[in-house]
Structure 1
Amino acid sequence: MSLNNSLIPMPNSNVMDIAPDDSQHMSLRIELFPTDLPSLVDFYTRILGFTLLRESKGYAYMGRGSVRIGAASAWETVDSHSRMVPTGTEIVLEVDDLQAMRDDVVSNGWPLDADIKRQEWGLVDFRVKDPAGYYSRFTSRSKGECAGRTQNMQ
């Protein structure tokens, strides 16, 4: 299969998406480098509901569902604004119940960077910044949206 044959236009967008390839399972693990590791671990475990899977001196490994996040203490101070879009990384996490996730974050005392909103490209999301300045976007993965997206792609 050539790359051009596997591109699928997303609805209401000029963005192209690659068709899924089920021949080999792939997962994603990211590594973060905070200056305050305990605060980052607290955020991901207490606020976002991750489980601390492993911890050693200067390193933590957390997971929730199929998402894995490793975090190692930064060896030098980094301006947290440099971690923001457009110069940094946006961590996008798809959830089954966006409203429940948003309510959990708020009830655990964490401020939202942007509340739930339908974006111009059609997805619904909310956004937060973690203690190290990494920007996370939570977006819905509802069956209705997936079905609509699939129908619109055909």
Structure 2
Amino acid sequence: MFAYRNDVRKILIPYLQELTPKQWNANAYPNTISWVIEHMAQTEDYWIFQIGFGESSRVVVIWMFKIELFVHKLSASVVFYRCLLGKGCTAHDEKSALFKAEGSGSLLLTDEAVLHADHYFASMAESRKGKGVELILPVDDVEMVYNKFKNIYPDHIESKIIAWPWGKLDFRVIDPDGYYVRVTS
């Protein structure tokens, strides 16, 4: 973390720990401390939820997503994600393939041909997928995954491996349908 990002939070942590459930659930409006905290808590920093909202509210926040990607050519996507995830499918048939994470997360690849004409995504079937979405895949060994991709899918690498000042290592790939994936430590 950047020191300047922590300063305000270091001051607020003692305050957050003293808030009662009634104070947390009070109607908030801009320029109040609760409004500021709410917007800070919506950032990428997981720990603000743990410290600020306490044990009892953990059931409200779901951290592992179940993601479904509608894909043009299922077989190509299955091979791509097997390489990226380093594991085979949990379930697979001619219309879909399921990859399960060790936690509660999962990735379901579904052939876009199953979409009915009135489905929200049906009109986007032939377009580039994932506009405005970044899928983030944490892995144990970013360099190993990067080297594997560099050899197997070099044209799908969007950005080379980078060591960030805050201690993360990552690279970005574009899957066969155009979904943008960040592989990170």
Same fold (TM over 0.5): yes
C-alpha separation in 2, matches of 1:34 and 1:119: 32
| C-alpha distance after superposition, 1:83-131 (max 9, x if no partner) | 3xxx331101112222122122223x11221111245776431011111
Whether 1:128 aligns to 2:166 is: no
How far is 1:132 from its partner? 1.1
Q: Which has the larger radius of gyration?
A: 2
Indicate the residue corresponding to 2:7 in structure 1. Answer: none
Relative distance call for 1:16 and 1:47 in structure 2 (3 A) is closer
TM-score when normalising by structure 2: 0.58
- Structure 1 portions without partners, runs of 5+: 10-14, 141-154
Of 85, 93, 107, which residue of structure 2 is paired with 1:48?
85
Indicate the residue corresponding to 1:58 in structure 2. Answer: 95
- Structure 2 portions without partners, runs of 5+: 1-20, 25-33, 114-121
Whether 1:100 aligns to 2:138 is: no
Indicate the residue corresponding to 1:35 in structure 2. Answer: 72
Of 82, 90, 109, which residue of structure 2 is paired with 1:71?
109
| C-alpha distance after superposition, 1:50-91 (max 9, x if no partner) | 3200123311111343341001111353222x53xxx33110
Higher normalized strand content (fraction of residues)? 1
> Which SS does the other structure have where 1:78 is aligned?
coil
Q: How many residues in Structure 1 have an aligned counterpart in Structure 2?
A: 130
C-alpha separation in 1, matches of 2:126 and 2:146: 28
Between 44-53 and 129-138, report the one with greater CA deviation.
44-53
Instruction: Considering Cα pairs closer than 8 Å and 6+ residues apart, tell me whether 1 or 2 has the greater RCO.
Output: 1
TM-score when normalising by structure 1: 0.68
Residue identity opposite 2:70 in structure 1 = F
C-alpha separation in 2, matches of 1:28 and 1:102: 23
Relative distance call for 1:6 and 1:116 in structure 2 (3 A) is same
